[in-house]
Amino acid sequence: MTAQPMNSRQRVLAALRRQPVDRTPVCNPTSVATVELMDLVDAYFPHANREPELMARLAATGYTELGFDSIMPVFSIIQESSALGCKIQWEQKDNWPTVKMREPIWEKPEDIVIPPDFLTHPDTRCVIEAIRLLRREFGDEVAIVGKTMGPWSLGYHGFGVEPFLLLSLDDPGKTMQCLDRLKEATVAFGLAQIEAGADALTLPDHATGDLVSGEYYARYLRDLHIEFSQRLPAPIILHICGRTVDRMEYIAQTGMAAFHFDSKNAPAESMEIVKKRISLVGNLNNPETLFSKGPEEVRAEVYRNLEAGVELVGPECAIPLQTAIENLVEIPKAVRDWHREQATRN
């Protein structure tokens, strides 16, 4: 720890680099939007996923109302899939927009084309504009985290989950060709957000242990993730849901700044595997703790992560839209209290 007080942005960037911080930052690489926050600033889904002013306004509540050290405006995982031509079900206020994966747009690698208007499509431009607005409003006071989807996730969206997984088994060569084409979308969208003012990028790539083996990650994605950490000039926070201890060793080798890990993986065990080669962000349980229980249980999980030495604390994934605000504000409160208790002890 450093005695020098830091602002939120400094704190997050230092933690992503595993440098000394004044206290552990509270960071959300994924959405902390809720239906009540939407009411508070009158920025409802689905419009807050499509209009930059609404997107920025809703995202800012993570910092101004909840007390997090970051603002992450890309609530959903479908913005670039929309720009790539996928059909989107935009849903309503209380539900996430989704890709209509039952209506895939690709069947083979040759079908994958990054359209010329990929970055000017309304749904990618919305993100880029929202980041610009947030940077202008908040200056250097808070970390602004963008998001660009990885090629495995884009493969699910464009091919459909089942066809893509079957392809990965039937034809690894074609699967690699798909990933090589899709990675250019990941890089282009990431660069545009950095240029607009993003301090870091979340990169979700759902090769989760609940679907595929650790060997799959090593075979298909590790080298691509190394490439992303080299081509994108900002700290990258890799996000993979579900059980991932069997692939954390590979993830730690990628050179990415941080790994956003799920509550199915114990903090202490995860820290032991990564051995400070990558920062860990997480891993407060969404459905069972943040959504279903109360502030006391939230605090206990925050403490568990802090005691394990996790570098940035936050929810494990995009929080359920009906999560209670009192549980979310408990997170920074618990982090502060823990540090105060530590200081008293030392």
Give the binding site for other proteins (CB under 8 A): 35-40, 42, 44, 65-67, 89, 92-96, 98, 101-102, 161-162, 165-166, 168-170, 210-213, 216, 286-288, 291, 294, 320-322, 324-326, 329
User: Residue 40 or residue 226: which is nearer to other proteins going by CB?
Assistant: 40
Vertex 10: Cα angle to 7 and 14 (nearest 5) = 140
Judged by CB, which is closer to other proteins: 116, or 173? 173
| CB nearer other proteins, residue 124 or residue 323 | 323
Choose between 107 and 170: whose C-beta lies nearer to other proteins.
170
Q: Which 8-state DSSP code applies to residue 25?
A: P
Alpha carbon 204 to its chain centroid, in Å, reads 6
Q: Nearest-CA neighbor of 80 among 153, 29, 31, 30?
A: 153
Give the residue with the Cβ less far from other proteins, 75 or 228: 75
Instruction: Answer left, alpha or beta for residue 276, where phi above 0 means left and psi between -120 and 50 means alpha.
Output: left
Within 8 A by CB and 6+ apart from 344, the residues are: none
Question: Min. distance of Cβ 37 from other proteins in angstroms?
Answer: 8
Q: Which two tokens stand for residue 85?
A: 């031509």
Closest approach of other proteins to the CB of residue 35, in Å = 4
**CB 80 within 8 Å of CB 184:** no
Q: Could you tell me the smallest distance in angstroms from the CB atom of residue 211 to other proteins?
A: 5
Other Cβ atoms less than 10 A from the Cβ of 17: the count is 14
Q: How far is the CB of 91 from other proteins (least distance, A)?
A: 8
Q: How many residues does the chain have?
A: 346
Q: Which residue number, 291 or 303, has a Cβ lying nearer to other proteins?
A: 291
Least distance from other proteins to the Cβ atom of residue 190, Å: 25
**What is the C-alpha to C-alpha distance for residues 337 and 246, in angstroms, rounded to an integer?**
33
Please report how close the Cβ of residue 119 comes to other proteins at its closest, in angstroms. 27
